[in-house]
Amino acid sequence: MGTEQATDHKTLIEALVAFQAECPAIPMNASAKIEGRSRSGNDYEYGYAYADLGGIFTIARPIWTKHGLVVTQSVMTDGDHVGAKTIVDHVSGESRESDIFWLPAGDSAQKNGAAATYARRYSLSAFLGLVTEADPDAKGVEGSRSAPSVKKAGPGPSTEAQHGAIHAISERLGYDRAALMKIASEVAERPIESSKDLTKQEASRMIDRLKDHEAALKATE
């Protein structure tokens, strides 16, 4: 993968289009295990795979640099929350920055650091439109999110099993209906009024998004 800078992009948006066209899916190179108890008193446990921040930068940075982009991130605190935002600058002088992605702060520096790292990873991936895929070299991650990949989910309507998973995770997170539908609408990129409005692919992405939120909250406990 070359790093020679391309200087023919006159605007930031042209450079971003070129970057997204060239950047491959980022392999999920790390895994985590989540354990806890739901509000109804039921114990739960699952594992999932993800692309860590170092893995994302290793693959994406040479490509955005090639297209005349510089990506930086800021971490901030506000009372009992930790947040991160991503800033993209272009050699033309144009710049764009993301909204701040906030997470509840932890009760120690270590937990705040974990929340900040997660917020940076989430902000970077969402703002640059990065996608992840199962790492073929990461074998045997039991229960990982790489198993129910989006590619395996068909274009038909979401299933009752998916609806159950969405509402079970949202219950553990304490999300109300409004918060849940806001996330669903962001995932589907269209207005969603019920989880039944989601396709199988969208429901699969929704479950992954909620699991990400749950993992981030666990890191601050």
The one-letter code for the residue type at 160 is E
- Among candidate residues 74, 206, 218, 83, the one with its CA nearest the CA of residue 150: 206
| d(C-alpha 81, C-alpha 105), whole Å | 5
**Which helix (H) or strand (E) covers residue 123, if one does?**
helix 109-128
Q: Residue 24: what are its φ and ψ, rounded to 5°?
A: -80, 170
- Chain centroid to CA 3: how far? 26
Is the CA virtual torsion 135, 136, 139, 141 positive or negative?
positive
Q: Please report, in tens digits, the pLDDT of each residue of the chain (221 residues total).
A: 444 555 689 999 999 999 999 999 999 898 877 776 666 676 767 677 788 999 999 999 999 999 999 999 999 998 888 999 999 999 999 999 998 988 888 778 888 888 889 889 989 998 998 988 765 444 433 333 333 333 333 457 888 888 888 988 888 888 888 888 888 888 877 888 888 888 888 888 888 888 888 877 776 66
The one-letter code for the residue type at 120 is R
- Specify the pTM: 0.65
Token pair recorded at residue 76: 């901030």
> For residue 23, what are the contacts with CB-CB under 8 A and spacing of at least 6?
59, 60, 63, 64, 128, 130
